[in-house]
Amino acid sequence: MNLLEHALATWMPAQRWFPGDRIGGDVTVIADTLLAAGDPELRHLIVSVRSGRPAGPPAGPPPARYQVLAGFRRQMPAELAHAVIGTDQRGKTVYDGLHDSELTTVLLRAIAGERADGPLVFTREPDVAIDLTARSLVLSVEQSNTSLVFGDSAILKVFRRLFAGPNPDLEITSALARLGSSDIARPLGSVSSRLDGEPVLLAVLSEFQRGACDGWQLALTSLRDLYARATDRAAEAGGDFAGEAHRLGAATARVHADLARAFGTQTLNPEELAGLAGQMTLKLKEASAEVPALATFADKIATAYAALAEITEPVTVQRIHGDYHLGQVLRSRSGWVLLDFEGEPLVPLDRRRDLAPALRDVAGLLRSFDYAARHLLVGHPDASRLSGTALEWVARNSAAFCEGYAEEHGSDPRDQAILLRALMLDKAVYEVMYEARHRPSWQDIPLDAIAGL
C-alpha cells in the first residue's frame, strides 16, 4: 500500500458510512480519475477493501468497493480540518473533497455540462435547469451515503459503498418524473461509471425539498407530545398525526398508481402465489432457528402464510418502493414526498426490480408506525402505563393511512386482509432477526407486534 492507501485504511473505518470499525486486509485504489487539476485538486477514487483474511486462494468474501472524492491541498484552511484523511506521496494533504464547496462545484458543473472524464460519465436529465452558483453543504444525518445540498434547490447523493448493476432508484424516479409526479423528488442528473464490466451508479442529483423533514422525525414529535400528556387518547393529543398519516397514505397510493402505469402490472398465478408464501416460510424457518423467542409464534405465522397461498382472488404485483418506512418520506411545505427507491438493501441489485404486491410497501409503513410508537418506550419508566396509548396511536394512524390510501387508490389495503397480514408478519420476522443480531433490547418491538397481529 502506498502512503495514500495507508491514510485511507486509517480514515475509512472511522467514517459513519463504513460498516465495522477496522480494516484487517488490504486497501487498494483501483481507479483514479483526475476531475480538477491545480490546488485544490480533485480526484475520484474507487477503493477496494479486503476483509481481514489472508490474501490468495481460497479467497474470502469478494472485496468491498468504496468511492472517495479526494481533495488535495498544500495548505489546509482551518474549516476543512475535520475532513483530513492524511498525506499523500507528493506531500500534499488529502481530505474528503465532499466537504470542500470549492471542489464540489466541479461535480455540479460536470453534470450540467454532461462531461465525461475517463470512465466517469456525467448526465443531466432532459429539460432541467441547474443553478451553478449554489454552494454545497454536507448533510450530517446520513448512514450509508453522503449527501450534499447545493444552495436550496438541489441535493447530490453520493454513494459510498458501490454495487455494480443497474440502480432502481434513478430508473424509477426518472420514470415517475416523466409522468409528472409531484410525490417524488425529481432527478436532475447523475454520475456513473463501470465496475466489473457492469454499469455502476456513483451519485444522483435531485430536486431538494426545502424546509422538509423526514416522516420519522415528525411522527416522533407527535409521540413525544402524546406520552408527555395526561391524556392517553391519541385523538385528543395536540400532536395528533392522523391528518399527516392520511395524506401520506394518499401520496403512497398515487406513487403506486404511477409505478403501475410506468412499469406495468402482472397477476400472480396460484403457483407464483404459493412461491411467495414459500419464500416467507423459508425466511420464518431460518429466523426461528436463530431466535428461539420467535419459535412460539411459528405455527401461527405459518398458518397465516398457508392462508396466503390459498387466496383465490387475483393478487396483482408491480414495481414498488421495496424499503418503505417513515424514514423514506419527507414532509415538504406542500405535502409528502417519497424518497430512495433503491429497494430492499439486503436483496442483490438484479433482484430488486422484481415485481411485488404494492401492499408490501403498505405493510412496511404500518410496521414503521409501530416502531415509532414502541421504540420510545424501550427503557421508558412509564412503559407499561403507556403501552396501551402507543397501540392506540398506531391503530389510529394506521387506519388514517389506509383511509388516505383508499381514497386515492379506490380500494382499502385492509380489504386484502390475508395478504396484508402475511406481509406484515414477514416484515416483522425480518425485524426480529435484525434486532436479535444488532439491538437485542429492541427485539420485543417486533415480537410484541407478531403476538398482536
Partner 1 sequence: MATAPDKPTPPMPTPPPLTGFAGPAATPVPDPFSFDQPRDPEWFKRAVFYEVLVRGFHDSNNDGTGDLRGLMSRLDYLQWLGIDCLWLLPIYASPLRDGGYDISDFTTVLPEFGNVGDFVELVDEAHKRGIRVIADLVINHTSDAHPWFQASRSDPDGPFGDFYVWSDEDTGYPDARIIFVDTEQSNWTFDQVRGQYYWHRFFSHQPDLNYDNPKVQDAILEVLRFWLDLGIDGFRLDAVPYLYEREGTNCENLKETHEYLRRIRSEVDRQYPDRVLLAEANQWPTDVVEYFGDRVLGGDECHMAFHFPLMPRIFMAVRREQRYPISEIMAQTPEIPSGCQWGIFLRNHDELTLEMVTDDERDYMYSEYARDPRMKANIGIRRRLAPLLDNDRNQLELFTALLLSLPGSPVIYYGDEIGMGDNIWLGDRDGVRTPMQWTPDRNAGFSRCDPARLYLPLIMDPMYGYQAINVEAQENNNGSLLFWTRRMIEIRKRHPVFGLGRYEELSSSNPSVLAFVREHPDPGNSQEAADRILCVNNLSRFPQPVELDLRRFKGITPIECMGGVRFPPIGDLTYLLTLPGHGFYWFQLPPVQER
Is there binding between residue 265 and partner 1 (CB under 8 A)? Answer: no
Binding part of the chain for partner 1, among 114-122, 165-173, 320-328, 331-339 by CB under 8 A, reads 331-339
For residue 96, the one-letter residue type is D
Phi and psi at 350, nearest 5°, equal -70, -15
By CB under 8 A, is residue 103 in contact with partner 1? no
To partner 1, the closest distance from the beta carbon of 44 in angstroms equals 21
Please, which residue, 152 or 350, has the CB nearer to partner 1? 152
Shortest distance, CB of residue 411 to partner 1, whole angstroms? 23
Q: CA 395 to CA 441: how far, in whole Å?
A: 24
How many residues sit close enough to partner 1 to count as binding (CB under 8 A)?
Answer: 33
Q: Which residues contact 228 (CB under 8 A, 6 or more apart)?
A: none
Alpha helices in 376-416 (DSSP H): 383-409
Give the whole-angstrom CA distance, residue 223 versus residue 418: 29
Amino acid, single-letter form, for residue 112: A
- Taking CB under 8 A as the criterion, the residue among 15, 182, 221, 266 binding partner 1 is 221
In whole angstroms, give the CA distance from residue 257 to residue 252. 9
Q: Which of 116, 129, 179, 213 binds partner 1 (CB under 8 A)?
A: 213
Instruction: For partner 1, give the closer residue by CB, 93 or 222.
Output: 222
Residues 69-88 that bind partner 1 (CB under 8 A): 79-80, 82
The reply to whether 351 sits near partner 1 by the rule CB under 8 A is: no
CA-CA distances (angstroms) from residue 373 to 21, 311, 379, 387? 31, 32, 13, 9
Measured from the CB atom, the residue of 63 and 151 that comes closer to partner 1 is 151
Residue 243 Cβ vs partner 1, minimum distance, rounded to whole Å: 6
Look up residue 255 and give its three cell numbers. Answer: 406513487
From the list 390, 391, 394, the residue with the least C-alpha distance to 380 is: 390
Distance CA(229)–CA(265), nearest Å, equals 46
- Whether 73 and 66 have beta carbons less than 8 Å apart is answered as no
Considering only residues 75, 140, 143, 384, which one is a binding residue for partner 1 as defined by CB under 8 A? 140
The DSSP output letter for 92 is: P
Stretch near partner 1 under the rule CB under 8 A, chosen from 47-55, 60-68, 237-245, 293-301: 237-245
Which residues face 337 on adjacent strands?
330
- Computed from CA positions of residues 107, 15, 352, 304, in that sequence, does the dihedral angle turn out positive or negative? negative
Looking at the Cβ atoms of 152 and 271, the one nearer to partner 1 is 152
Contacts of 415 (CB under 8 A, 6+ apart): none
Q: Which of 73, 331, 396, 421 binds partner 1 (CB under 8 A)?
A: 331
| 144 versus 221: smaller Cβ distance to partner 1 | 221
Q: Please select the residue that binds partner 1; options are 222, 389, 398, 443, rule is CB under 8 A.
A: 222
Nearer to partner 1, 183 or 426 (CB): 183
Which has the closest alpha carbon to 191: 100, 110, 99?
110
Exactly one of 20, 62, 199, 243 binds partner 1 (CB under 8 A); which one?
A: 243
Measured from the CB atom, is 30 or 235 closer to partner 1? 235
Specify the stretch interacting with partner 1 by CB under 8 A; choose among 17-25, 130-138, 289-297, 439-447: 130-138
For residue 351, report the phi and psi dihedrals to the nearest 5 degrees: -100, -10
Q: Which is nearer to partner 1, 155 or 268 (CB)?
A: 155
Binding site for partner 1 (CB under 8 A): 79-80, 82, 99, 101, 135, 137-141, 149, 152, 210-214, 217-218, 221-222, 224-225, 228, 236, 238-240, 243, 331, 333-334
